[in-house]
Amino acid sequence: MIQDIFPKKFDNQYRNGKPIDHSRIFVFRERQILIRQDAGQNLSLPCFGEFRKRMDREEWQSEMQYYFSMDGMGYFAYQGDVEPFGEYEYAPVRSFRQMVSKEVCFAIMTAWHLHRWYLASRYCGMCGEKTVHDARERMMRCPACGNVIYPGIAPAVIVAVTDGNRILMSKYADREYKKYALLAGFTEIGETAEETVRREVMEEVGLRVKNIRYYKSQPWGIDGNLLLGFFCELEGCDEIHRDEGELAEAGWFDRDGMPAHDDGISLTREMMGVFERGEEKHIF
């Protein structure tokens, strides 16, 4: 999956550090990121030294927000806007999930999630005052009313419904992602992830399930999610009643005739691979 970047090491412990010349810098402009792509689809982010060389001014360093590290290399975000320079261009954030440099794609997704949270947390939602960064942890604080804002992560389930040698696969209605997927949905306040599984399957395809087993999770920063993967079995009638607002298609597919496979990126696709190899029987 996209977060499996071993032997590289992702370190998201918060530090209140300053960038040095080789630190990598994220610059977002609306839904785009400043990046260099070569002919082989390798991606590189600008480094702080390149910023400094272009415009030698003191403020650069204080306008850089620390995000995380990979293999000891610091990743920061510049909060302002920068015109494209050198071979760097703005490109849509969503265009990178299939690229060869998996760790860069993971870094972009994660940075996007943080960027959106920082943008949405500039003002206190309780009293409207401008917030300030906490010095010790990743948190925004309101100096007027004391409200604290932690990064928001939305949990969502991915559900593989199986029935012997068949699996339920579907396509979303009105989404950019047009390939076959598994059922998915957000966890509501007051509900367990297992209850989300039962509710979403009933809402989207009108089926009952049993033997719900947790598989793995995946951070999916592009949409601000933590995805929780579950396998479960059909209980009772197999007739699908599709929610046409949510799904463009839903149907049963045999294990040896599945229309989508593991892509090494997403939890959904890894779960398809697990079923294709018959390994879901070993998940308890």
Query: Site residues (CB under 5 A) for Zn ion?
Result: 124, 126-127, 129, 142, 144-145, 147
Tell me whether residue 148 or residue 248 sits nearer to Zn ion (CB atom). Answer: 148
CB of 80 to Zn ion, least distance (A): 25
CB atoms inside a 10 Å sphere around CB 84 = 13
Tell me whether residue 125 or residue 259 sits nearer to Zn ion (CB atom). Answer: 125
Distance CA 193, CA 212 (A): 10
Distance CA 73, CA 229 (A): 31
Task: Write the DSSP assignment of 14-25 as a string of letters.
Answer: -------TT-EE
CB of 118 to Zn ion, least distance (A): 17
User: Which pair of structure tokens corresponds to residue 206?
Assistant: 């009108």
CB 5 within 8 A of CB 100: no
Amino acid identity at 283: I
CB of 141 to Zn ion, least distance (A): 9
Tell me whether residue 128 or residue 278 sits nearer to Zn ion (CB atom). Answer: 128
Tell me whether residue 85 or residue 123 sits nearer to Zn ion (CB atom). Answer: 123
CB of 40 to Zn ion, least distance (A): 49
Distance CA 255, CA 163 (A): 10
